[in-house]
């Protein structure tokens, strides 16, 4: 278990380093598409919140895009 | 009507002042807003209709109000109400004969022969959420939030916060956050002792504390592509048992149910997750993909893959098919039943949600504007199919003849409306 956690931690640290070290450069005037609302990791927060609530009540997992607390006696 | 027949009362000076003040409060923002060009407020309504085949039904309207300020700050408040009815599996095993038991609220429940025993329930949950986001200069922002929710046997109160900063000419964004929640569990009929025949040990509430931390990084990789990685750790302690779930004690040879014991789970649980996400823009359309790996100290491991494709039809209209696949392993103390006469384990549950499980979700969202009606609409339909291990290798006797975890079909529909003004 601890070994798995360490492996995942190392993998995540590696990914963050990869993101930091990436050489891609996008100039500010080239970010018109990225500025669109649909270019978001969570373009529909209320739909996402409803989904999170459903899956939290039907499955054993949680976590992902946000650091919300408990808040439901459904599981 | 009776009020109309009464003589008019002379207006007091105080009432006049209050009346004028109330009118001013209503009219001044409206007049100021009329002069504005950009909307500064938003109202979101969503309503969820959720139905499991022969099990739970949920109706959940949610309304959120967001106020944007001129300096980039915003505050939001949200109210949600869940109305839940139906039934859920008790965790007990089926039998070749009709089974009868008494629920926590004193009702007699009958389960047909050969079917998973179910317990009817009804609940209403009210939740309040608030958030405040504030920029600190051009590159840093903070978000503070709070939530409160209450249902028949559960209450939750929590706060959370996060800081985000842009780095490397805003190509990289780092987010650090966390939250704490102080919850209370007060089971209907009292709290039963774990792994007992239902002996009530007290009728008060049980504390459950949840705290979590988040570390995230998102990176612009090109004009049309962004990726992110998020890691979360959640620490739970206190009363984590499901007080209404049961475990069947079965005959060691025939597998016939002999009696049932209550559920008992450890009082701590540390959960971890890593989420990898990508947003990629095609000519007009957008592809969203994510993968999450989850693990916890109850030995549950899960993989989740989520795919969405937003097909943009015009500036205001899109369709977005979605596909999600989820798979989990069982908790270390999950068991389909306990053998009569065998020593009791330290912990045990037959809650299928802690067993081996697979969920497949397909659906789609349609976003549009309706003629001259201000605001935008979203309509989403989803079908979920959840399947556990219906024939576990340790099933004995008659239990081998039954489907111990029948697949569940779940339909849900969400209607949303967003209005900026």
B105: closest CA of chain A, how far (Å): 17
Structure confidence at residue A16 (pLDDT): 65
Cβ atoms of residues B155 and B188 within 8 Å = no
| Section B41-65 average pLDDT | 95
Least confident of B356-365, B378-387, B388-397: B388-397
pLDDT in tens, A4-51: 556 656 666 666 666 666 666 888 888 889 989 999 999 999 999 999
Q: Is B303 on the interface with A (CB under 8 A)?
A: no
Burial B333-352 (b: 16+ CB within 10 A, else e): bbbbbbbeeeeeeebbbbbb
Nearest CA among B250, B175, B193 for reference residue B400:
B250
ipTM reported for the complex surpasses 0.90? no
For A8, counting Cβ atoms within 10 Å of its Cβ (0-12 exposed, 13-18 middle, 19+ buried), the class is middle
Average pLDDT, chain B: 89
DSSP state of B352: G
pLDDT in tens, B325-350: 999 999 999 999 999 999 999 999 99
The partner residue sitting opposite A50, judged by closest CB among B48, B312, B328, is: B48
A33, B208: Cβ pair inside 8 Å? Answer: no
Cβ within 8 Å of residue B26, ≥6 positions away: none
What's the token pair of residue B346? 């330290």
What's the token pair of residue B264? 């008992």
The partner residue sitting opposite A71, judged by closest CB among B62, B158, B211, is: B158
What's the token pair of residue B74? 């915003």
Contacts of A72 in chain B (CB under 8 A): 125, 149, 154, 156
The partner residue sitting opposite B279, judged by closest CB among A5, A39, A72, is: A39
pLDDT above 60 for B369: yes
B183, A71: Cβ pair inside 8 Å? Answer: yes
| Number of CB pairs, chain A paired with chain B, less than 8 A apart | 200
B223, A31: Cβ pair inside 8 Å? Answer: yes
């Amino acid at each position: 278990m601890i070994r798995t956690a360490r492996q995942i931690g190392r993998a995540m640290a590696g990914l963050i380093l990869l993101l930091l070290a990436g050489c891609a450069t996008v100039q500010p005037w080239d970010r018109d598409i990225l500025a669109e609302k649909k270019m978001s990791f969570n373009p529909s927060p209320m739909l996402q919140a409803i989904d999170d609530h459903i899956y939290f009540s039907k499955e054993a997992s949680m976590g992902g895009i946000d650091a919300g607390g408990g808040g439901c006696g459904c599981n | 009507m009776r009020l109309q027949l009464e003589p008019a009362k002379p207006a007091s000076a105080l009432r006049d002042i209050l009346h004028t003040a109330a009118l001013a409060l209503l009219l001044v923002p409206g007049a100021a807003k009329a002069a504005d060009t950009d909307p500064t407020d938003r109202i979101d309504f969503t309503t969820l209709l959720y139905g499991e085949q022969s099990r739970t039904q949920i109706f959940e309207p949610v309304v959120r109000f967001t106020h944007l300020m001129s300096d980039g700050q915003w505050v939001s408040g949200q109210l949600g109400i869940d109305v839940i009815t139906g039934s859920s599996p008790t965790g007990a095993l089926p039998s070749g004969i009709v089974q009868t038991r008494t629920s926590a609220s004193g009702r007699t429940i009958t389960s047909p022969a050969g079917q998973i025993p179910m317990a009817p329930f009804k609940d209403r949950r009210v939740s309040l959420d608030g958030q405040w986001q504030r920029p600190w200069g051009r590159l840093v922002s903070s978000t503070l939030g709070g939530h409160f929710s209450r249902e028949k046997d559960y209450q939750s109160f929590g706060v959370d916060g996060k800081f985000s900063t842009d780095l490397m000419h805003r190509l990289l964004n780092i987010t650090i956050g966390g939250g704490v929640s102080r919850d209370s569990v007060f089971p209907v009929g009292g709290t039963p002792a774990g792994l007992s025949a239902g002996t009530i040990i007290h009728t008060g509430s049980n504390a459950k504390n949840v705290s979590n931390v988040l570390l995230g990084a998102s990176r612009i990789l090109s004009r049309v592509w962004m990726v992110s990685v998020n890691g979360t750790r959640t620490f739970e302690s206190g009363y984590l048992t499901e007080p209404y779930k049961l475990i069947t004690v079965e005959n060691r040879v025939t597998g016939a149910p002999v009696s049932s014991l209550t559920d008992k789970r450890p009082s701590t649980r540390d959960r971890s997750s890593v989420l990898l996400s990508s947003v990629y823009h095609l000519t007009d359309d957008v592809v969203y993909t994510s993968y999450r790996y989850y693990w916890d100290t109850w030995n549950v491991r899960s993989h989740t893959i989520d795919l969405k494709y937003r097909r943009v039809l015009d500036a205001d209209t899109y369709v977005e098919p979605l596909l999600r696949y989820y798979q989990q392993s069982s908790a270390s103390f999950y068991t389909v039943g306990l053998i009569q006469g065998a020593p009791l384990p330290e912990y045990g549950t037959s809650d299928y949600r802690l067993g081996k499980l697979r969920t497949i979700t397909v659906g789609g969202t349609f976003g549009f504007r309706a003629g001259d009606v201000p605001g935008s609409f979203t309509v989403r339909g989803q079908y979920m199919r959840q399947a556990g291990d219906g024939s576990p290798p340790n099933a004995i006797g008659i239990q081998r003849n039954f489907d111990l975890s029948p697949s569940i079909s779940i339909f849900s529909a969400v209607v949303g409306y967003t209005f900026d003004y």
